[in-house]
Structure 1
Amino acid sequence: MKIVIFGGTGFVGLNVAEALLARRHDVTLYDRAELPLSALRSLAEYGARLRAVQGDITDADAIDALIAEGVDAIVLGAAITAGDELERASTARVLEINVMAQIPILLSAIRHGVRRVVNLSSASAYGATGARVEILDEETPCDPVSFYAISKFASERSVARHAELFGGDFLNVRLSALFGPWERPSSVRDTPSLQFQILAAFARGEPAIMPEAGMRDWIYAPDAAEAVALLIEAERPRHRLYNVSRGGLWPALQWGEAYAALHPGLQCRLAAPGEKTVIKLHGAYRAPLSVNRMADEFGWRARFGCAESAAAMSAWLTQHKEWI
């Protein structure tokens, strides 16, 4: 298929692109940011099947012209992933990019007969509900609180409503706590994972001192990308919303310890009482996402657990030493 990923040169976009290219699809990355040189080198083997187009997500004319060239599927991955500081500074921008900018893309997809659109949403859409239940499935009512969470939930409802009104084949995917290859903080992403922050501390020659264990339903980004690829390829999905997660809780501290064990001299530990740490956990506790829907319909389960993802990330950084 010919697939366009909006936000394609970002963290999640690059992981999805790799998964799709490996499955022999043609991929166009549309993003305001250039394709990083490290990614360009890494993906060079795919030749003309990969294209990067620089452009703004709010440029409706440029986007319509791109889709008019002939597109089988679209991934809506452009978003401002905002913590409290970025929300304070750019409240309107969060809503503009995460919700309003999608509407011309959806209308263009309908107009030009795009077969499938997959909107990358977030577990944050569950909001305060995540602290009140033991597990979050796709039928659990949402109670989004932050502007980021509100924007992701609103994007889901907008995508679903466009499908109802115009007959588009549109899906929403709620991704849990992501980490892994190609992650980097930026002006539109100020919530780096604990794993990224651990690796950044190691790169500075410092111990990774954790404020707490960091219990989350972490998922290694290549696993999430494989799930997205499955949903793009699915002939007739039975649902319009899917959770994508490891499906259980485990601590980032354990991941840091597993990574450190592969590299003698590194240390990851909890902060002592009164000890300062630059590592920051973003967001309050949230129950894990149920992945029964993805497992029952597609047989999909995340392959990488804590130790496996630490080993995989170590191998990846061996090939991409300059990344962190």
Structure 2
Amino acid sequence: MKIVIFGGTGFVGLNLAEVLLARGHEVTLHDRAELPPSARRALADHGARLKVVPGDITDAAAIDLLIAEGCDAIVLGAAITAGEELERTSTAHVLEINVMAQIPVLQAAIRHGVHRVVNLSSASAYGAAGGRYPVLDEETPCDPVSFYAISKFASERSVARHAELFGGDFLSVRLSAVFGPWERTGSVRDTPSLQLQILAAFSRGEPAIMPGPGMKDWTYAPDAAEAVAVLIEAERPRHRLYNISCGAAWSALQWGEAFAALHPGLQCRLAAPGETTFIKLHGPDRAPLSVTRMADEFGWRARFGCAESAAAMSRWWMQHREAI
């Protein structure tokens, strides 16, 4: 298949590109940001099956020309992953990029007969509901609070409504607490995972001092990418919305301890009373996402738990430490 990933040089986009290229597809990465040098080296063997197109997600005319060249699937991955600081300073921009900029892409997909569109949404769409239910499935009523959560929930509804009105084969996925290779912060992402913050401390030669355990259904990025690839390739998905998660909650502290155990001299621990920590928690703990829909329909389940992802990330870190 020929697949265009908008936001393709970002964190999730690069993980998805790796998976899709490994499965034999042709991948075009559209993004304002350049491909990081370490990622360019890692993907060099794929040759002409990988193309990088610089551009802005708000440039509707250029996007229409790109889609008119022909593609089988589109991934809507361009987004501002906003914490409270970006919410305060860039409220309108969060909504513009995460919701409104998708509409010309969807309309171009309809015009040019694109087979499948997958919108990368977020578990944040559940919002305050995450503290009211023991498990969150796709039918759980959402209560988004932050502008980022509101934008993601709105993007899902917009994608679904376009599909209803125009017959497009469009769906959304809610990604839960993703971390792993190629994650980095920047002007459009100010909510680094606890795992990235732990690795940043290790890279500085410092102990990773945690303000709290950080319980979430942490999902290793290659697992999330595999799930999205399954949905891109699926002939007839039965639903418009799918949760993607490891399916169980565990702590980032436990992960940091497992990673440190593989590297003598590293330490990850909770902060002592009154001790300063530069690692920040983003949002309260919430219930894990149910992955029953993905498991029952496609047989997909995450392969990496806490220990497995720590070992895999350790190997990646040794090869790409400059990327942290």
Contact 2:5–2:75 (8 Å) recurs in 1: yes
CA distance, structure 1, for counterparts of residue 321 and residue 278 of structure 2: 22
Contact 2:67–2:108 (8 Å) recurs in 1: yes
CA distance, structure 2, for counterparts of residue 215 and residue 142 of structure 1: 20
CA distance, structure 2, for counterparts of residue 293 and residue 9 of structure 1: 29
Q: Do residues 181 (structure 1) and 181 (structure 2) align? A: yes
Q: Paired residue for 1:106?
A: 106
CA distance, structure 2, for counterparts of residue 164 and residue 321 of structure 1: 45
CA distance, structure 1, for counterparts of residue 66 and residue 119 of structure 2: 18
Q: TM-score, normalised by structure 2?
A: 1.00
Q: Do residues 12 (structure 1) and 29 (structure 2) align? A: no
Instruction: Quote the offset at 1:321 in angstroms.
Output: 2.4
CA distance, structure 1, for counterparts of residue 84 and residue 276 of structure 2: 20
Instruction: Quote the offset at 1:196 in angstroms.
Output: 0.2
Where 1:322 maps in the other structure, the secondary structure is: helix
CA distance, structure 2, for counterparts of residue 132 and residue 149 of structure 1: 16
CA distance, structure 2, for counterparts of residue 255 and residue 286 of structure 1: 18
Contact 2:203–2:321 (8 Å) recurs in 1: no
Q: Paired residue for 2:260?
A: 260
CA distance, structure 1, for counterparts of residue 306 and residue 316 of structure 2: 15
Q: Paired residue for 2:201?
A: 201
Where 1:150 maps in the other structure, the secondary structure is: helix
Which portions of structure 1, spanning 4 or more consecutive aligned residues, are displaced by more than 3 angstroms?
none
Spell out the pairing of 1:74-85 with structure 2 (5 A cutoff): 74-85=74-85
Instruction: Quote the offset at 1:261 in angstroms.
Output: 0.2
Q: Paired residue for 1:53?
A: 53
Q: Paired residue for 1:311?
A: 311
Q: Do residues 225 (structure 1) and 188 (structure 2) align? A: no
Q: TM-score, normalised by structure 1?
A: 1.00
Where 1:62 maps in the other structure, the secondary structure is: helix
CA distance, structure 2, for counterparts of residue 205 and residue 174 of structure 1: 35
Instruction: Quote the offset at 1:318 in angstroms.
Output: 1.5
Q: Paired residue for 2:212?
A: 212
Instruction: Quote the offset at 1:76 in angstroms.
Output: 0.2
Q: Do residues 93 (structure 1) and 81 (structure 2) align? A: no
Spell out the pairing of 1:128-277 with structure 2 (5 A cutoff): 128-277=128-277
> Structure 1 counterpart of 2:32, which letter?
R
CA distance, structure 2, for counterparts of residue 288 and residue 202 of structure 1: 28
CA distance, structure 1, for counterparts of residue 250 and residue 285 of structure 2: 12
Q: Paired residue for 2:282?
A: 282
> Structure 2 counterpart of 1:314, which letter?
S
CA distance, structure 2, for counterparts of residue 253 and residue 50 of structure 1: 37
Q: Mind listing any 5+ residue stretches in structure 1 that lack a counterpart? A: none
Q: Paired residue for 1:115?
A: 115
CA distance, structure 2, for counterparts of residue 123 and residue 20 of structure 1: 23
Tell me the C-alpha RMSD between the 2 structures. Answer: 0.4
CA distance, structure 1, for counterparts of residue 27 and residue 62 of structure 2: 17
CA distance, structure 2, for counterparts of residue 20 and residue 187 of structure 1: 27
Instruction: Quote the offset at 1:319 in angstroms.
Output: 1.5
CA distance, structure 1, for counterparts of residue 317 and residue 282 of structure 2: 24
Where 1:29 maps in the other structure, the secondary structure is: strand
CA distance, structure 2, for counterparts of residue 212 and residue 191 of structure 1: 16
1:211-256 CA distances to partner (integer Å, 9 max, x unpaired)? Answer: 0000000000000000000000000001110000000100000000
Instruction: Quote the offset at 1:46 in angstroms.
Output: 0.3
CA distance, structure 1, for counterparts of residue 41 and residue 93 of structure 2: 32
Q: Mind listing any 5+ residue stretches in structure 2 that lack a counterpart? A: none
CA distance, structure 2, for counterparts of residue 77 and residue 254 of structure 1: 29
State the number of aligned residues: 324
1:267-299 CA distances to partner (integer Å, 9 max, x unpaired)? Answer: 000000000100001011211000000000000
CA distance, structure 2, for counterparts of residue 267 and residue 36 of structure 1: 29
CA distance, structure 1, for counterparts of residue 128 and residue 253 of structure 2: 25
1:18-40 CA distances to partner (integer Å, 9 max, x unpaired)? Answer: 11000000000000000111100
CA distance, structure 1, for counterparts of residue 50 and residue 317 of structure 2: 23
CA distance, structure 1, for counterparts of residue 249 and residue 257 of structure 2: 16
